[in-house]
Amino acid sequence: MRRLFGLSLLLMLLSLSACALFPQRDPLTINVVGIEPLPSQDLEMRFAVKLRVQNPNDTTLDYNGVALDLEVNGRPLASGVSDQTGSLPRFSETILSIPVSISAFSVLRQTLGLSQTQSLDNLPYVLRGKLAGGVFGTRRFVDRGTLDLRGSTATW
């Protein structure tokens, strides 16, 4: 009984000390900085979503894939993935371009969800995504804002 207690205590201390080995990291700062049209298929539209990714940490962030989901006005609109790989050095930033697809059915859902008095400007959006980086290196992020569709090009 005493050995079991001692073993349990040892395992608990080891598990607590293992958590201390993982460094505390500040969250990445990720903002949507633009969209560009891409060639599309029959019932879909495709865009390249440009993200500014800032690493406020004192360690390099290595990534090997990106995934995005975009909601507009509280409804799913677009999703995309990319197998981009790279490194984001400490205290630096980069622009990533991720292709996303919007199906005709998503556009129809969005259209049906708008009230007759609601304009297409200033619709709220939520962008959720992740930068893949292995078992302990994957970083999830969320960006919220409103769409500004005035002018000749769409900006966020």
Flag whether 116 is in a domain.
yes
* Residue closest to 79 by CA, chosen among 129, 39, 41: 129
The conformation of residue 116, written as its DSSP 8-state character, comes to T
Among 48-52, 83-87, 109-113, the range scoring the smallest mean pLDDT is: 109-113
- Per-residue pLDDT, averaged over 60-81, amounts to 91
Helix (H) or strand (E) holding 20: helix 2-21
- Per-residue pLDDT, averaged over 19-23, amounts to 54
DSSP bridge pairs for 93: 54
Flag whether 140 is in a domain.
yes
**What is this structure's pTM?**
0.71
Among 38-52, 86-100, 109-123, the range scoring the smallest mean pLDDT is: 109-123
Among 52-66, 93-107, 118-132, the range scoring the smallest mean pLDDT is: 118-132
Flag whether 14 is in a domain.
no
- Per-residue pLDDT, averaged over 55-60, amounts to 92
pLDDT of residue 97: 95
Number of domains in the chain: 1
> How many whole angstroms separate alpha carbon 45 and alpha carbon 134?
31
> How many whole angstroms separate alpha carbon 58 and alpha carbon 92?
10
DSSP character string of 73-99:
TTEEEEEEEE---EEE-TTEEEEEEEE
> How many whole angstroms separate alpha carbon 58 and alpha carbon 135?
20
Flag whether 57 is in a domain.
yes
Flag whether 154 is in a domain.
no
User: Domain range spanning residue 139?
Assistant: 26-146
> How many whole angstroms separate alpha carbon 147 and alpha carbon 155?
7
